[in-house]
Amino acid sequence: MFWSKIWLFIVAAAAAIAITVALLLPRPAQRARVDEERQRLVVACDVVGIQMRDSARVQVDVAGAFARQPAVELALEKASAAESISEKDAKDARELAADTIAEVKGTRPDFAILIDARGRVVARAGIDEREYGDTIAGRWLVDDALAGYLRDDLWHADNRLWRVAASPVIKGPTYVGAVVVGNAITKEYAEGLMRPLGAKIAFYADGQNVAASSTITMDKVHDVHAKLAASGADPAADCKAQPFMGRSGKEEYTAVLARLPGEAETRGAFFTVFIERSRTLGLGATLDAVTKDDLSFSNFPWPLVALGFLAALGVGLALMILEADRPVRKLAADSVQLARAQIERLPEEQHRGRFGSIARSINIQIDKLAREARAARRDLDQLLGPGEGDGGGGGGGLGTLDLGGPVPARPEMSRPAPSAEFRFSDPLPAPDLDLSSSQPARVTAPPLPAGASGAIPRPPPPRPKPPLPGTSSAGTPPPAPMPSASNPQISPALVMAAPGGLSGLHELLTAEEPVPDVGSAEEEASFRAVFNEFVELKKRCGEPTAGLTYPKFSDKLRKNRDDLMAKPGCVGVKFSVYVKDGKAALKATPVKQA
């Protein structure tokens, strides 16, 4: 079984490696996916900054073109020279600004503000149009524009964020004012930023969401902004910061946060770009993500998998047949031959490994049983003595009594055969008794038939009987009744044949025969059945049965039974007959206590 075990180890190791790979592969894929998401967020954040800068450059161009309009230059020059701005001048300037906005090609500004050289608002178009004459100087954007700079900025007003740009208005060598144009950051603007990126964005200022591409509101956003602001890091590097995990209801999102530059930064303005967090990849999630196309023959090496499976199966079956099935069949065949007595021992040298160990164990037990059988035969021979025809070695196994061979007849006492005409029931003539004489009476028996012997056989002694009526307590029988005419049951022939006359006849008739040692009726019937079966088997085997008598047979059975019953744990003995070496034999089997 060595190679089978090695092959099983190899297959198990390959399966373990395959399972390990299947469980571990999703982890690198998950890390790669997380890194991809972070990179995607960083790119989205950078793209938002780039797009906002591009939009600001366009706004600066629009503001410059707006400031170069001759009508605008005249209106601001007039307003800068006046002590106050009249309603008519404000209305004319507002209409001029509205017409100029309408002439802009491309993205038009949401509003325009005309500012004179003193920083006063001459007119507003698109926002708060009724307000004019207020001073907005002091804003970074306005001051830089009045100083002759083109620049952009972010304003927070009316809970909205505005992208603004300003341009100075110059008439000749004199700065006569400035023009400010701007666009609000709205949901449409946010969606336009994220549309090519596949992410979501939200703008915040003063702790409130002022514009977003979706209605999702994440937690942890303000906490992350506070930590980022307190860190003193450069806002330009915010997009490179570590992404954080946010939650909105039951959904989780991966997000990055970046602070907005300009004046809006003082109002805590920032934006966050986020995407929905991908599911954690595992074996189950990976299998769920498998599609039919993944399992097609063009994408999956099914032929190689099938060949590998068939190769592993074939090698395993071959090793199992060589190291298990064939040795088992060989051992089974040898066991059948052993059971049929075709072989005496299992051939250990023909079996290897554990099957050889099994064969050796069986042979050891066979040797042990053979030794016990020989010892049992010796004990039986010592106990019973070898019977005639036993060959001195009788029985075939433990507790086997071989009664094969002729059994000598029990010696009988030679006694003369009675006359053929002798019957105890034959009536005899009454003897003639002379009762008048003083001499003892003599009984004259009639003459015996010709050819009859004078010796009368002694009848068999009767079994023990209760005391006869009239017997004394000492058991002394009363005097024998004398023959008379009134007692015809006593034959005169018996009186004459019995020694001592009538008294001798009485002793003969009342003598007790020794009680033979016989078993129960059930045991006798069992012994008789075994005897009949044994005799029948000897006849079938062609053995002589002359001299085989039941008394001799039953005596041996009882002696063998008593010897086996004396052993511990034996509660009974069963006898059976069988054929051994072509002869009938008897086997005694002990019945052990359960």
Is the pLDDT at 269 greater than 90? The verdict is yes
Q: Is residue 389 domain-shared with residue 353, that is, in the same domain? A: no
Q: pLDDT digit string (tens) for 551-578?
A: 888 888 888 888 888 888 788 888 899 9
- Are 160 and 85 part of one and the same domain? yes
Q: What are the pLDDT digits (tens) for 117-148?
A: 999 999 999 999 999 999 999 999 999 999 99
- 300-310 pLDDT per residue, tens: 888 888 998 89
Non-local CB neighbours of 545 within 8 Å, separated by 6+ positions: 406, 535, 538, 539
pLDDT at 125: 94
Element (H, E) at 333: helix 326-339
The answer to the question of residue 261 being in a domain is: no
Is residue 395 located within the same domain as residue 317? no
Give the pLDDT mean for 535-549: 88
Please list the helix, strand and coil fractions of the chain in percent, rounded to the nearest 5, in that order. 45, 15, 40
308 and 169 belong to one structural domain: no
Q: Does 461 have pLDDT greater than 70?
A: no
Q: Are residues 22 and 157 in the same domain?
A: no
Is the residue at 535 inside a domain? yes
Q: Is residue 246 part of a domain?
A: no
What's the CA gap between 462 and 391, in Å, rounded?
40
Q: Tell me the sheet residues that pair with 205.
A: 208
Examine the pLDDT at 593 and tell me if it is beyond 90. no
Please name the residues in contact with 593: beta carbons below 8 A apart, sequence gap of 6 or more: 569, 570, 571
Looking at residue 119, what is its pLDDT?
Answer: 93
Strand partners for 253: 246, 276
Q: What is the DSSP letter of 434?
A: -
Per the CB < 8 A criterion, the answer to whether 486 and 435 are in contact is no
In whole angstroms, what is the distance from residue 284 CA to residue 25 CA? 12
Q: How far apart are CA 127 and CA 149, in angstroms?
A: 24
Contact 209, 216 (CB under 8 A): no
Q: Between 75 and 383, where is the model more confident?
A: 75
- How far apart (Å, rounded) are the C-alpha atoms in residues 137 and 157? 16
- 164 SS3 class: strand
DSSP 342: S
Total domain count, the chain: 4
Taken in order 163, 169, 174, 177, the sign of the CA dihedral is: negative
Q: Which helix (H) or strand (E) holds 257?
A: strand 251-259
Q: Residue 87 falls within a domain, yes or no?
A: yes
Provide mean pLDDT across the span 5-21: 85
Q: How much is the average pLDDT of 60-86?
A: 92
- Nearest CA to 551 among 386, 393, 403? 403
Question: Which residue(s) pair with 245 in the sheet?
Answer: 254
Q: Would residue 584 be called left, alpha or beta, if left means φ above 0 and alpha means ψ between -120 and 50 degrees? A: beta
pLDDT at 280 over 80: no
Residue 576 CA to residue 348 CA, distance in Å, equals 33
Is 166 within a domain?
A: yes
CA dihedral 36, 39, 41, 47 (to 10 degrees): -130
Distance CA 165, CA 305 (A): 67
Catalogue the long-range contacts made by 464-470 (C-beta closer than 8 Å, 24 or more residues apart). Answer: 464/512, 464/515, 465/512, 468/510
Phi-psi group of 184: left, alpha or beta (phi > 0 → left; psi -120 to 50 → alpha; rest → beta) = beta
Rounded-to-integer distance, Cα 378 and Cα 390, Å: 13
Least confidently predicted of 81-85, 459-463, 555-559: 459-463
- Coil, helix or strand for 263? helix
Among residues 248, 113, 261, the alpha carbon closest in space to that of 182 is found at: 113
Give the helix/strand (H/E) hosting 381: helix 353-384
| Domain C-terminal end among 187, 203, 238 | 187
**pLDDT at res. 296:** 82
Q: Where is the domain boundary, 146, 162, 187?
A: 187
Same domain assignment for residues 113 and 168: yes
**Model confidence pLDDT, tens digit, residues 420-431:** 333 333 444 444
Say what the pLDDT of residue 488 is.
Answer: 44
Rounded to an integer, what distance in angstroms lies between the CA atom of residue 289 and that of residue 273?
27
* pTM, rounded to two decimals: 0.49
**Rounded CA separation 388/390 (Å):** 5
What's the rounded mean pLDDT across residues 181-194?
A: 92
Same domain? 21 vs 62: no
Which helix H or strand E contains 76, and what residues bound it? helix 70-81
In a domain, 265, yes or no: no
CA distance 202 to 215: 9
Residue 473 lies in a domain: no
Residue 434: partners with Cβ closer than 8 Å, 6 or more residues away: 441, 442
Domain end marker among 290, 307, 335: 290
Residues 144 and 20 in one domain: no
Task: For the beta carbon of residue 13, count every other beta carbon within 10 angstroms.
Answer: 10
| pLDDT at residue 36 greater than cutoff 70 | yes
- pLDDT given at position 571: 85
| Whether 530 contacts 575, CB under 8 Å | yes
- Higher model confidence: residue 375 or residue 218? 218
| Banded model confidence at residue 107, pLDDT cuts 50, 70, 90 | confident
Residue 455 pLDDT? 40
Tokens coding 129: 């149009």
Tell me, yes or no, whether 142 and 55 share the same domain. Answer: yes
Taking residue 143's Cβ as centre, other Cβ atoms within 10 Å add up to 15
Does residue 201 form part of some domain?
Answer: no
Contact 165, 214 (CB under 8 A): no
Query: Once rounded to an integer, what is the mean pLDDT over residues 91-120?
Result: 92
If asked whether residues 401 and 543 sit together in one domain, one would say: yes
The boundaries of the domain holding residue 133 are 49-187
Q: So what's the pLDDT on residue 153? A: 94
Q: What is the mean pLDDT of residues 440-457?
A: 42
pLDDT the model gives residue 399:
39
Helix 26-67 and helix 187-194, axial crossing angle in degrees, nearest 10? 130
CA distance 12 to 203: 57
User: Is 538 found in the same domain as 392?
Assistant: yes
Greatest mean pLDDT among 242-246, 283-287, 454-458: 242-246
pLDDT of residue 200: 93
pLDDT digits (tens, 9 = 90+) for 372-418: 888 766 655 444 444 444 443 333 333 344 444 443 444 444 444 44
* Cβ(219)–Cβ(246) below 8 Å: yes
Q: What is the mean pLDDT of residues 353-374?
A: 88
Among 103, 109, 99, which residue's Cα sits nearest to residue 63? 109
Same domain for 171 and 23, yes or no, is no
Residue 282 backbone phi and psi in degrees, to 5: -150, -170
